[in-house]
């Protein structure tokens, strides 16, 4: 069945399996070596490497141009304080 799943569904399933493993380790006596923020990518012959979900290692406020450049979102207006 997995062989015929679309790529987006495979990515969701991979992330879910990581989440399930993390929960299992939390409730058992095993070390918690799985969990936290997870990066998800799909690799295929046709598309190559494609990020599905990627965490960022810096706060949005420090590099807002990066997020504007990589999204369809409207520009974020910066707030100025008088003082």
Phi, psi dihedral angles at 69 (to 5 degrees): -70, -30
- Alpha carbon distance 11, 17 (integer Å): 10
| pLDDT score recorded for residue 81 | 47
Structure tokens at 79: 């707030």
pLDDT for position 16: 94
CB of 64 closer than 8 Å to CB of 74: no
Considering the entire predicted model, what is its pTM? 0.61
- Give the pLDDT of residue 72: 58
- Which of 54, 62, 66 minimizes the C-alpha distance to 15? 54
Residue 20, pLDDT above cutoff 70 = yes
The pair of structure tokens assigned to 68 is 């504007």
CB 35 within 8 A of CB 55: no
């Amino acid at each position: 069945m997995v062989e015929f799943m679309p790529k987006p569904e495979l990515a969701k399933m991979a992330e879910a399996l990581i989440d399930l493993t993390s929960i299992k380790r939390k409730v058992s006596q095993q070390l918690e070596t799985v969990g936290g923020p997870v990066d998800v990518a799909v690799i295929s012959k046709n598309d190559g490497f494609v990020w599905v979900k990627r965490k960022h290692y810096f706060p949005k406020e420090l590099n807002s141009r990066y997020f504007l450049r990589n999204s369809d979102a409207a520009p974020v207006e910066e707030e100025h304080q008088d003082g």
